């Protein structure tokens, strides 16, 4: 997702905006730009590439204006180049804006503006919005009215910040479907799409709601709907620390976040897990307890890594709580006219809490009367606000585009939710204590696996030049195979596929030869022998086997080329432990291939447009 930063105050705006944009680089982008109002005129600088390229190629950091906006763009309409980079100005260089989202009816608006003699420099939908606002400003002579009228006319999603050279003491921000936060400081205000760009200035923030705009001046701010109805802003305090969004001595954010997992996993059950009672206290669900107890079915909806966590959640809930569960890609859910009613519980899983497809899915579920629960990481995010109840992950800011600690935190929360549901549906306290005790031991086990990072690195060195990988697992560990393959694809650009191990003979076995590394998740569980048989089949075809296996397994070393041992635990908790070496394997391979680990090409941290 693109990054937005806007500033108005008593300091030079450009350096603050550039610093904020650097804080947002992890979100993924292909160009950057900054505009300020300096001496009553707009200054503009934008450049394809990184924020550092913008700084080197322009004098933007030297501008004196104390109001400005900046943007890191992830291309949707128009190729990544200097012209298509944001900000975009109207035809008279009086109005300028930055925009996250997609204006779906921009072609229609552009045709009308072209017919009136307006010309366009870029291929973007965002410039159309800037020119449209500029035209309306000429019509009304009122900056706020022009912005509000334009936003009532456009279809699609937006998070925008707009300024006008004739109003050098005002910023206007608005959102629909794309997050915006207003930071309230001492005689200064920072608008951003992410708290990471705000935290060094203030902890006091206002989260803009859907179809809400903020009119920010040097003396204060007001909020209202785009229909001009005043709203009451709530100032909240963000809790993240600057150290959390810095590398802390690690070469990459991804590696830092992999190594944070003993702590983040513990934070996910701290204060919730009742080991002696064999139960869980989830305060965020207290308002929907009765609806959970009476649920006929649970639907879990998510995208990407969160979808893989949801698949494991399906195994957990059906095995422990004996309730039917369906897992849906959020991107497909609302387009197939799903059958949902008031007896259903819909769980939305998202690290950012802003995933556009997942937001659309929960809105559909609520419209059909279902109880909707959010499992998100970012406090105050759209999903957290729009669901009926929820459980935060408490994983802290995740900067690396490829999710690691958020995934294991999702599994931590899903396991606790499953235990909570199971205990209310008849699971004995003794069984509950066994699960709770095992879950409590996971952070220490993760630490033991992380101590094997150099061992995994040596395996990665041998396969860094591979063209393809196959990941195989069964039962709880089939989704782990999917997640392991996704991690490798995301950051190393190696083609990788995840399959149920038993499905290997239904097609993928044709790919196996001496150049094909095959990763097996092969713990000592009730289907261990069947997985070993699959390993033998791969070895018979000269495939290279990398096995994730239990510490108690001495036999696996005789059939696998490489073995990474993980501590023994309950089968339902193995996915948590097995995912750690797969994260390390993907990371080390990507480093050997000299890939941009934290910001893989073409990827954004949060997908806020369809």
Is 530 one of the catalytic residues?
Answer: no
10 Å Cβ neighbour count for 402?
Answer: 29
Any alpha helices (H) in 213-354, and if so which ranges?
253-259, 261-269, 289-293, 304-321, 330-333
Structure tokens at 485: 């393959």
- Burial class from Cβ neighbours inside 10 Å (0-12, 13-18, 19+) for residue 545 reads buried
Active-site position among 22, 46, 544, 605: 605
Taking only Cα atoms into account, the Rg of the chain, rounded to an integer number of angstroms, comes to 25
Residue 469 CA to residue 363 CA, distance in Å, equals 38
Residue 329 CA to residue 142 CA, distance in Å, equals 44
Phi-psi region of 197 (alpha: psi -120 to 50; beta: other; left: phi over 0): alpha
Residue 163 CA to residue 173 CA, distance in Å, equals 9
Any alpha helices (H) in 498-571, and if so which ranges?
528-539
10 Å Cβ neighbour count for 239?
Answer: 11
Residue of 579, 355, 381 whose CA lies nearest to 485: 579
Structure tokens at 536: 């033998």
Active-site position among 2, 164, 303, 595: 2
Residues 121, 162 contacting (CB under 8 angstroms): no
DSSP secondary structure of 382-396 = HHHHHSSEEEE----
Is 164 one of the catalytic residues?
Answer: no
10 Å Cβ neighbour count for 595?
Answer: 18
Which positions are catalytic?
Answer: 2, 605
């Amino acid at each position: 997702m693109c990054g937005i930063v806007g500033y108005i105050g008593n300091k030079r705006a450009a350096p603050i905006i550039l610093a904020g944009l650097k804080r947002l680089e992890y979100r993924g982008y292909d160009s950057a730009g900054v505009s300020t109002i300096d001496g009553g005129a707009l200054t503009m600088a934008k450049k394809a590439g990184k924020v550092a390229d913008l700084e080197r190629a322009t004098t933007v950091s030297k501008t004196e204006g104390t109001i400005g906006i900046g943007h890191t763009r992830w291309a949707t309409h128009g190729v990544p180049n200097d012209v298509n980079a944001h900000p975009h100005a109207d035809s008279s260089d009086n109005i300028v804006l930055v925009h996250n989202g997609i204006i779906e009816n921009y072609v229609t608006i552009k045709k009308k503006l072209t017919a009136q003699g307006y010309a366009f420099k870029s291929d973007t939908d965002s410039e159309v919005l800037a020119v449209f606002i500029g035209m309306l400003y000429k019509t009304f002579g009122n900056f706020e009215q022009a912005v509000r009228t334009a936003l009532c006319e456009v279809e699609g999603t937006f998070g925008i910040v707009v300024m006008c050279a004739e109003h050098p003491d005002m910023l206007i921000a608005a959102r629909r479907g794309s997050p915006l936060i207003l930071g309230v400081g001492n005689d200064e205000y920072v608008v951003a799409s992410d708290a990471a760009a705000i935290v060094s200035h203030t902890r006091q923030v206002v989260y803009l709601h859907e179809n809400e705009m903020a009119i920010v001046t040097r003396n204060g701010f007001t909020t209202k709907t785009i229909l001009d109805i005043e709203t009451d802003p709530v100032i909240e305090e963000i809790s993240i620390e600057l150290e959390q969004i810095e590398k802390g001595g690690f070469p990459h954010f991804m590696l830092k976040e992999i190594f944070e997992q003993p702590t983040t996993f513990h934070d996910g059950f701290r204060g919730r897990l009742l080991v002696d009672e064999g139960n869980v206290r989830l305060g965020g669900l207290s308002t929907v307890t009765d609806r959970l107890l009476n649920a006929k079915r649970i639907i879990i909806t998510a995208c990407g890594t969160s979808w893989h966590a949801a698949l494991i959640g399906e195994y957990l809930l059906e095995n422990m709580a004996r309730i039917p569960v369906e897992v849906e890609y959020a991107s497909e859910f609302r387009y197939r006219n799903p059958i949902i009613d008031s007896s259903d519980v819909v769980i939305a899983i998202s690290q950012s809490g802003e995933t556009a497809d997942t937001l659309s899915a929960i809105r559909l579920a609520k419209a059909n009367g279902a109880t909707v629960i959010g499992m998100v990481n970012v406090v105050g995010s759209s999903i957290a606000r729009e669901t009926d109840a929820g459980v935060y992950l408490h994983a802290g800011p995740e900067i690396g585009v490829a999710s690691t600690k958020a995934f294991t935190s999702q599994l931590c929360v899903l396991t606790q939710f499953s235990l909570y549901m199971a205990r209310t549906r008849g699971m004995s306290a003794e069984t509950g204590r066994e699960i709770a005790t095992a879950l409590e031991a996971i952070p220490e086990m993760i630490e033991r696996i992380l101590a094997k990072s150099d061992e995994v690195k040596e395996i990665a060195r041998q396969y860094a030049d591979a063209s393809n990988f196959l990941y195989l697992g069964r039962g709880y560990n089939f989704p782990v195979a999917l997640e392991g393959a996704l991690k490798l694809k995301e950051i190393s650009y190696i083609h990788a596929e995840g399959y149920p191990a038993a499905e290997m003979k239904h097609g993928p076995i044709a790919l196996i030869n001496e150049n094909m590394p095959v990763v097996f998740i092969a713990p000592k569980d009730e289907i261990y022998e069947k997985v070993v048989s699959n390993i033998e089949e791969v070895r018979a075809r000269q495939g290279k086997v990398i096995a994730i296996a239990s510490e108690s397994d001495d036999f696996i070393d005789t059939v696998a080329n490489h073995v990474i041992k993980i501590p023994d635990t309950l089968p339902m908790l193995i996915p948590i432990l097995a995912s750690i070496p797969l994260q390390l394997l993907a990371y080390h391979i990507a480093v050997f291939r000299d890939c941009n680990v934290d910001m893989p090409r073409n990827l954004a941290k949060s997908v806020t447009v369809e």
